[in-house]
Amino acid sequence: MPTIVVDVMPKAELLDPQGKAVAGALDRMGVEGFSAVRIGKRFELTVADASEETLAVARKLADEVLSNSVIEDVVGIEVVE
Amino acid sequence: MPTIVVDVMPKAELLDPQGKAVAGALDRMGVEGFSAVRIGKRFELTVADASEETLAVARKLADEVLSNSVIEDVVGIEVVE
């Protein structure tokens, strides 16, 4: 069955404490070349068919259910498989 | 600056209570055609350069730091921008 992948990230202007914690950990581990880390969510929605209609529903759900538009942005919606 | 995106998902054989909760919510909302939802993480790592070397370090970090191999799989690593 096809899968619709929805990517949600914290808005750029917001602090991302989880990401900051990971960036700090990399720093303490001595890993170089990684200047920032941000952590968001990846939703995999298994759908019966990947029609244009289903995709439209998925777009609506991504904006209204899967993300909180006050603090998050939907950065990608794509069909895989 | 280039960004390396790392996608981490809960292993297929594990229950994903967060995903199940969302799937249940969609069901109660009367949304049809979505049979399953799984929720994972999307890491955006800002790097100084997207060389093969940096990518190798990112792959190692993805396996050892960003994911817990007991319960999660790294499903994708790609350079964007």
b vs e for A58-78, b when ≥16 Cβ sit within 10 Å of the residue's Cβ? beebbeeebbeeeebbbebbe
Mean pLDDT of B28-56: 95
Tokens 């350069």 sit on residue: B49
Domain with A17 in it: what CATH number?
3.30.1280.10
* pLDDT in the model for residue B20: 96
What string of pLDDT tens digits covers the 81 residues of chain A? Answer: 899 999 999 999 999 999 999 999 999 999 999 999 999 999 999 999 999 999 999 999 999 999 999 999 999 999 997
Residues of A in CB contact (< 8 Å) with B are: 1, 7-9, 19, 22, 25-26, 29, 31, 33-49, 54, 57-58, 61, 65-66
Contacts of A41 in chain B (CB under 8 A): 39-42
* pLDDT in the model for residue B70: 96
Search chain A and give the residue with CA nearest B12: A44
- Percent of chain B at pLDDT > 70 equals 100
Q: Residue B49 — φ and ψ, nearest 5°? A: -145, 155
Domain count, chain A: 1
Domain of residue A55 covers 3-80
* pLDDT in the model for residue B2: 95
- Show the tokens assigned to B34: 């979505």
